[in-house]
Chains A and B, each alone.
Chain A
């Protein structure tokens, strides 16, 4: 079993829709939870992160962590075609020296 599991999709939604991206993890020691966005032919870039359980909002993006169920979510409101990318959840271990990534979900927002 992988430490971080993510449905690879692909996921295709119309512009303006609310998008929900999800991951599950198995390591109870994870404390930080990241979401990276990767555009085609580019390196991943950090979108946002949360510490422990709870919600964090940044503009149209909301990250949510439920440590009791080991569930990580990213919500995108009012989705735009420019949000089309692969979204990867990630958790750092070993004192934040190593990032463990989910498989990544390929998202397409259709105009």
Chain B
């Protein structure tokens, strides 16, 4: 158990809908990362927050947004869902923001999103 929790475990929804995925980082970790894992694209970085502020952005679609709250939990919002958004969404956390040194990321169990 990494100490990172994600809810819900599974989510089934229809095209065009909006969903929110939630992540609680390990106790004391200030950075939260979101990744998407699909069969064709593999595990891809979406976005990082550090202590409430956006720090790095990957190939995140404009339909997707995230935020980190004062209690450090984070939410990933996915809107206007398409069939191709079906994937595993992982949250990871780390103590620091990065800055050139090694910065281990601890992954949660993931949320499996199915868009029908």
**Chain A contact residues, CB within 8 Å of chain B:** 32, 36, 41-46, 49, 51, 88, 92, 94-104
Contacts and interface: CB of A to CB of B under 8 A. Distances in A.
Contacts of B45: 98-100
A97 B101 CA distance: 10
B18 interface: no
Contact of B56 (A46, A51, A94): A94
A97 B107 contact: no
Interface of B: 2, 4, 31, 33, 35, 42-45, 48, 55-56, 58, 90, 92, 97-110
A46 B111 CA distance: 19
Looking at A45, A49, A99, A103, which has the most chain B CB atoms within 10 Å of its CB?
A99
Contacts of B104: 46, 49
Contacts of A42: 109-110
8 contacts: A32-B102, A42-B110, A43-B2, A43-B90, A45-B2, A92-B98, A92-B103, A97-B33
Given A94-B56, A96-B99, 8 more contacts: A32-B102, A36-B107, A42-B109, A88-B42, A88-B43, A96-B98, A96-B103, A99-B35
Contact of A43 (B48, B58, B97, B110): B110
Contact of B42 (A41, A45, A94, A103): A103
Given A43-B109, A43-B110, A96-B98, A104 B55 contact: no
Contacts of A32: 102
A104 B42 contact: yes
B103 A97 contact: yes
Contacts of B110: 42-43
A44 B109 contact: no
Contacts of B106: 46
